[in-house]
Amino acid sequence: MQLPSKVKIGPHVFEVVFPYVFTNNSTLCGQVDSTACEIRLASENAGVKYNATKVWDTFFHELAHKVLDIAGVDLGSRGENVCDLLAHTVLAMMIDNGWVVPEVPQ
C-alpha cells in the first residue's frame, strides 16, 4: 500500500511529502509543518533506508500529533510517548486485520 499524497485532518488538507530530506536535523524521521500544511517523512537516516513499517509508523505518529492538536488536546511532555503509542497501536491493528500490507514505498 502506498502512502497517500494528501490527507484531510479536520478542516485542513496536508500534503504528504515523501521522501523528505531534513537538512537541519538529519535524525528526524517525520514532522508536521502546520504552516506549509505538510506531513514530511524521511526515507533514510545516515544512508540507512527505513523499512515500510517504520515509514508507516512515522506517518501515523505525525497524524496523531495533528489529530490531537486539532482536537485541542495538550499532552505536554507526554506528547511524543502518546503519539508513539497511538501510531504503534493503529499500525499493528491495520496489519493484523489485513487493512495495510506494508511495502517499501517508492
Mark residues 33-62: x for contact with Zn ion by CB under 5 A, - for none.
------------------------------
Smaller CB distance to Zn ion: residue 44 or 80?
A: 80
Smaller CB distance to Zn ion: residue 30 or 105?
A: 30
Mark residues 57-96: x for contact with Zn ion by CB under 5 A, - for none.
-----------------------x--x-------------
End-to-end CA distance of the chain, in Å?
11
Q: Read off φ and ψ for residue 65, nearest 5 degrees.
A: -55, -50
The grid coordinates listed for 11 are 478542516
Nearest Cα to Cα of residue 63 among 2, 6, 9, 5: 9
List of residues contacting Zn ion (CB under 5 A): 80, 83
